[in-house]
Amino acid sequence: MNVAVGEARKDEMAFGVDDFGVFRLQIRNIAVAPHGHDAFSTDCERFGPRCWDQRVDLPWRTHRGRGERQRYANLQSKDTKVIDAKGHLVLPGFTDCHIHFIDGSFSLGRVNLEDAKDAADIQQRLREYGGKHPGNDWILGRGWNYAMFPTSLPDKKYLDEVFPDRPAFLEGYDGHTYWANSKALALARITKDTPNPPNGIIVRDPQTGEATGALKEAAQSLVAAVIPKPTRGEKLAALRDGIRWANENGLTRVHGAGGDFEEFDLYDELLRHGDLTLRFYVSYFQDPPELRPQDISASRMRGKNIPATGSPRAR
């Protein structure tokens, strides 16, 4: 059972491990009561009778300090929310320290290939998804990994068998390689004569030179550029789905690692409507400046002053 403790928009919470290795959690106006025991709030340390202590020899133990029950009772107020955990484990909110939130939110409504077994399993999932989402618009999704294919890379032929006339574009689990079918490659005008873009590779058949459908790194942008952009309403709907999923699965804070800074106005709208029930720490991706010849020369000179041990020479 998952127990949600607090909402990001109003409640103040802090958690960590104290000097004795005991987990501590502070939440305003929230109480968690183990089944059959008094509720407690504000300083919810040790979680009453069942405490995860991080000790290898005795990870679970019972803690009932003197006056503990009365102390918890004194902390309650008329605004305290009491949750009976019924003896189940209660955890603090989780923080995801690397996430692309708006992209992930859109993925919730797209085809998910994360636990597929092989190419045949992927094709079956795509057929099912296509049947539930008929039409000629793009098939988008993510989650395939390299071990699902005999050559460790996807091939357009598998997608063409399912979608010969409908563009399909699927992101790998790591976000570094994408997979396109022939229709998507044609719309992007990728042929055997198309050069690799900077920082990207169009994987090609060694015999014919034709694109296989696997696009590494920045090469995916050639196809991404021709996919219709979502509307503002679609973005807001996706973000609400993502925030709802986060709330249901115990995430209370996320650190955006790209793609969210440009959508600040959307998050502001969600905040103004009371829908931003998740904390965000958003970073801005900035391309580093190009290295000048003198920079490269200087770095080589520094390398000569570093011995084999890797530590700088004493000067």
pTM exceeds 0.75, yes or no:
no
Q: What is the DSSP letter of 284?
A: -
Instruction: Please name the residue that has the structure tokens 């993925």.
Output: 107
Separation of alpha carbons 138 and 304, rounded Å: 53
pLDDT digits (tens, 9 = 90+) for 285-308: 777 777 778 877 777 776 555 444
Tokens of 186: 């044609």
| Count of Cβ atoms closer than 10 Å to residue 212 Cβ | 20
SS3 state of residue 17? strand
Q: What is the pLDDT of residue 312?
A: 39
Average pLDDT over residues 124-142: 96
Terminal Cα distance for the chain, rounded: 61
Tell me: pLDDT of 45 over 90. Answer: no
Q: Are 38 and 73 in contact (CB under 8 A)?
A: yes
Domain ranges of the chain: 13-92, 101-224
Separation of alpha carbons 179 and 157, rounded Å: 11
Q: What is the pLDDT of residue 198?
A: 93
Pairing of strands 200-204, 211-217: antiparallel
Separation of alpha carbons 216 and 198, rounded Å: 11
Separation of alpha carbons 274 and 159, rounded Å: 42
Q: What is the pLDDT of residue 220?
A: 98
Average pLDDT over residues 38-52: 43
pLDDT digits (tens, 9 = 90+) for 70-106: 776 777 788 887 777 777 777 788 999 999 999 999 9
Tell me: pLDDT of 246 over 90. Answer: yes
Confidence at 68, pLDDT banded by 50, 70, 90? low
SS3 state of residue 252? strand
Q: Give the CATH number of domain 101-224.
A: 3.10.310.70
Separation of alpha carbons 69 and 39, rounded Å: 8
pLDDT digits (tens, 9 = 90+) for 153-169: 999 999 999 999 999 99
Separation of alpha carbons 64 and 73, rounded Å: 14
Which of 80, 93, 91 has the alpha carbon at shortest distance from 38?
80
Q: What is the pLDDT of residue 85?
A: 73
pLDDT digits (tens, 9 = 90+) for 180-236: 999 999 999 999 999 999 999 999 999 999 999 999 999 999 999 999 999 999 999
Q: What is the pLDDT of residue 67?
A: 61
Tokens of 187: 């719309």
Beta strand segments in the chain, E:
13-17, 23-33, 41-43, 51-52, 60-61, 81-84, 94-99, 111-112, 139-144, 168-172, 177-180, 200-204, 211-217, 251-256, 279-282
- In order, the DSSP letters of 165-225 are SS-EEEEETTSSEEEE-HHHHHHTT--TTPPPPTTEEEEE-TTT--EEEEEEETTHHHHHT
Mean pLDDT for the chain overall: 79
Q: What is the pLDDT of residue 284?
A: 82
Q: What is the pLDDT of residue 205?
A: 97
